[in-house]
Amino acid sequence: MNKLIECLGESDPEFLDTAIDEDFQLNFEVENCIIDLDILKESLSLKSVSNTANDSQETSPEINRLVHVQEQMQRLMESQSEQQCKLFAHIARTESTHKSSVKLPKLDLNVFYGNKIQWCEFWDAFECAVHRNTNLSDIGKFTYLQSKLGGEAKRSIAGLTLSNENYAVAIGILHDRYGKKQEIIELY
């Protein structure tokens, strides 16, 4: 249950409880049918050994019961399959609605402290991993940016409040201060 909830993210717990309860009930009924089939199979094999060809009318009710149990089992399996299809359809709908809140994997970006020589490397990695990620809001991107800045670079945008608009402002400040190509070339 926990793994299913984790896969779905935030989901309707009542739907999940109902779906899982129905699935367990169907599994239970299928197991009972399998037990009935085993009992009938054993009974038929014992009778077939002890009976002659003339006694075939006596096994007819057991054969009818076997056919009935097989039909019942088939209906249960079809019902379980339909239930699982509904559950998977619900999972697919839930996943599509939660795509906007995608969690990024742990970033292994280096922290940028303000060394202009390291700016291009930092910005290229950050731009690829975060800045161009269309699943993140600008506030989310700004949060990641702040977590990957330190020292002088962090102080250069410290006065900006966390907002969508200020993400672009922060990027502009950082590019103006550390991303001037001529200054980087002179430093090399």
| Residue 90 in tokens | 């619900």
Domain boundaries, the chain: 2-101, 116-187
Q: Kindly report the pTM of this predicted structure.
A: 0.45
First to last CA, the chain: 57
pLDDT for residue 10: 47
pLDDT for residue 103: 64
pLDDT for residue 34: 76
For 112, phi and psi rounded to 5 degrees? -100, 120
Q: Answer yes or no: are the C-beta atoms of 23 and 84 closer than 8 Å.
A: yes
pLDDT for residue 175: 94
> Digits of tens for pLDDT over the chain (188 positions)?
566 566 655 456 676 677 777 777 777 777 777 777 777 777 776 666 555 445 545 556 777 777 777 777 777 777 776 776 666 666 666 655 555 556 655 657 889 999 999 999 899 989 988 899 888 899 999 998 999 999 999 999 999 999 999 999 999 999 999 998 888 888 88
Q: Answer yes or no: are the C-beta atoms of 113 and 151 closer than 8 Å.
A: yes
Q: Cα–Cα distance between 157 and 136 in angstroms, integer?
A: 20
pLDDT for residue 52: 47
- In angstroms and rounded to an integer, the radius of gyration of the C-alpha atoms of the chain is 33
